[in-house]
Amino acid sequence: MSEALRETRRVMGSEALIISARTIDNKTGFVEVTAVGGEDKEPTGKKSNKKEQYQPTDDIVDARPWEKSIEPLREDLVSLRRMVYELRKITDEAVLPGFNDLRTLIVESSQEQEAGRLLGPIYSELIDIGVMTDIARNILRAVEMKLGLAGADRRDWMSLARGMVRETLGEQIKIAGPLVPGENARVFPFIGPSGVGKTTTMAKLASRMSLSEGLNVVMMTTDTYRIGSVEQARRYAELIGIPLVVADRPETMAAAIRSYAEADAILVDTPGRAFEDEDVRNMLEDVLGAVGEPLESNLLISATHSTAQQESIVKSFSTLHPNRLIMTKIDEASQLGGLVNMQHISDLPFSYLTSGHRVPEDIEVAGTGRIGQLLFGMMD
C-alpha cells in the first residue's frame, strides 16, 4: 500500500488528494488507489552509469538535506491520515445506527422488565383465574402502552392498572345482546355438548319470551338419543303453556316449520351427542338445513370446562356455524378466565350467562360490565 501511495504521488504530483485506497487481492498484494488533483509528472529517464563528480558551485548549501529524504514519507502519512478519516466516517455511518438500535432495544427491554415487575401481580392474578398466558400478556402489554401514553408516574401504575385491565377487557369482549325474534331470525337452535344445560336454557328463554314479552313461542327438540330428553322438554313446555314438537328428521323439521309459520319464535333443542359422534352431527346438520329460513344458532359452553375442552367444543360445532355464545354454570366454576379465553378462541359474541336451574330466573343478558365484575370479583 505504501508503495502504491508513493507511486501515486510520483505520477500525479505531491498535491494529489487520495480519495480511496483498497486491497484488490490479498494473495497477490494488488491494491487500488483513487486520487484527484495534482499535475502529472513525467517519468524520469534512465540513470547514467557514470559516476558524477562533485563540482563546487557558488549556491548556498542546504543546511537540512535530510528534509528531502523524508518528504515522501510525510506525504504518505498525510495520505494515510486522510484514509483513516474517511474509513472512520464510513464505519460510523454503517455501525452507529446499529449501536443506536441496540441501545434503544436495551432501554426498551429494561423498561419492559420494570413494567413486568410492577404489573407482575396482576399478571399472576389473571393466570390464577384461568386466563390463557398469551392473552394475559397481550392484555398487560396493552395496559403498559396506555400507561406510557398517559405519562403516568410508575409509582402510580398499580393503582391505575386495574382500571385499565378492566377497560381493556371491555374493549376485547364482544356482546351480542339478547335474542330478538324477527330481527335476524325467528328460529334459534341451541347447540353444545351434553350436560351444558341446553334444554334448561331453552326453557328459560321460552318462558321469558312467552310470559314476559307475550310472543307466540314454539319449542322443538331434535334430541331423541338421550333417555328422558323429550319428556324433560315436554314438562317445560306444559309449565310455560306452549307447544312442543319432536323433529328429529329433515322431513319432520320442514313440516313443523310450515305448521308454525305464524310463530314469533321457534326454539330448537339439539342432541349433545353431536359433539362426540360425527354421524349425529351430520344428521343434525341435515335437520337444521331443512328449516329453510335464517337461523341464529347459540353455542352453549359450561364455565366449568377447561380451556382445552372449550377449544375442542368450538372446533366440533364450527360446521353448524354458531352465531352467539351462551356461557352456562357460572356459579359452579372455580375459574372464570374462560369468559376471556372463549372470546379469543371462538371470536363469537356473548349472548347470555346462566347460573342455576331455576326457570326463568337464573339467566342474564351478557354485558362487559357484568363480565368484568365477575372476573375482578375473583381477582379482588
Residues 160 and 257 reside in one and the same domain: no
Tell me if 11 is assigned to some domain. no
Q: Note the pLDDT of residue 4.
A: 82
Tell me if 296 is assigned to some domain. yes
Tell me if 54 is assigned to some domain. no
| CATH number of the domain that residue 347 is part of | 3.40.50.300
Residues 249 and 286 reside in one and the same domain: yes
Residues 159 and 199 reside in one and the same domain: no
Tell me how far apart the alpha carbons of residues 23 and 31 are, in angstroms, rounded to a whole number: 4
Sheet holding 298-302, edge to edge: 244-246, 217-221, 265-269, 187-191, 298-302, 324-328, 350-354, 363-365
Among 16-20, 137-141, 149-153, 337-341, the range scoring the smallest mean pLDDT is: 149-153
**Average pLDDT for residues 160-166, to the nearest whole number?**
79
Residues 313 and 235 reside in one and the same domain: yes
Tell me if 349 is assigned to some domain. yes
Residues 346 and 291 reside in one and the same domain: yes
Tell me if 276 is assigned to some domain. yes
Tell me if 298 is assigned to some domain. yes
Q: Tell me the β-bridge partners of 175.
A: 350
Residues 130 and 273 reside in one and the same domain: no
Main-chain dihedrals φ then ψ at residue 318, nearest 5 degrees: -65, -25
Three cell numbers, residue 9: 504521488
**187: number of Cβ within 10 Å:** 23
Domain boundary among 172, 196, 221: 172
DSSP string covering 287-327: HHHTT-S-B--EEEEETTS-HHHHHHHHHHGGGG---EEEE
**What is the residue range of 331's domain?**
187-379
Tens digit of each residue's pLDDT (9 = 90 or more) over 230-264: 999 999 999 999 999 999 899 999 999 999 999 99
Closest to 201 in 3D by CA, of 291, 301, 286? 301
Three cell numbers, residue 226: 338421550
Among 65-74, 162-171, 346-355, the range scoring the smallest mean pLDDT is: 65-74
Exposure letters 308-319 (e unless 16+ CB within 10 A, then b): eebeebbebbee
Residues 348 and 231 reside in one and the same domain: yes
Tell me how far apart the alpha carbons of residues 338 and 329 are, in angstroms, rounded to a whole number: 12
| Continuous H helices in 13-132 | 66-128
Closest to 169 in 3D by CA, of 206, 193, 138? 138
Residues 273 and 152 reside in one and the same domain: no
Confidence tier at 83 by pLDDT (50, 70, 90): confident
- What's the structural domain count of the chain? 2
Residues 148 and 221 reside in one and the same domain: no
Residues 222 and 361 reside in one and the same domain: yes
Confidence tier at 217 by pLDDT (50, 70, 90): very high
Residues 260 and 326 reside in one and the same domain: yes
Tens digit of each residue's pLDDT (9 = 90 or more) over 283-342: 999 999 999 999 999 999 999 988 889 899 999 999 899 999 999 998 888 888 888 888
**Average pLDDT for residues 178-186, to the nearest whole number?**
90
**277: number of Cβ within 10 Å:** 14
Tell me how far apart the alpha carbons of residues 252 and 247 are, in angstroms, rounded to a whole number: 5
- pLDDT(51) > 80: no
Tell me if 343 is assigned to some domain. yes
Does this model's pTM top 0.85? My answer is: no
Tell me if 60 is assigned to some domain. no
Mean pLDDT of the chain: 80
- pLDDT(178) > 70: yes
Residues 139 and 209 reside in one and the same domain: no
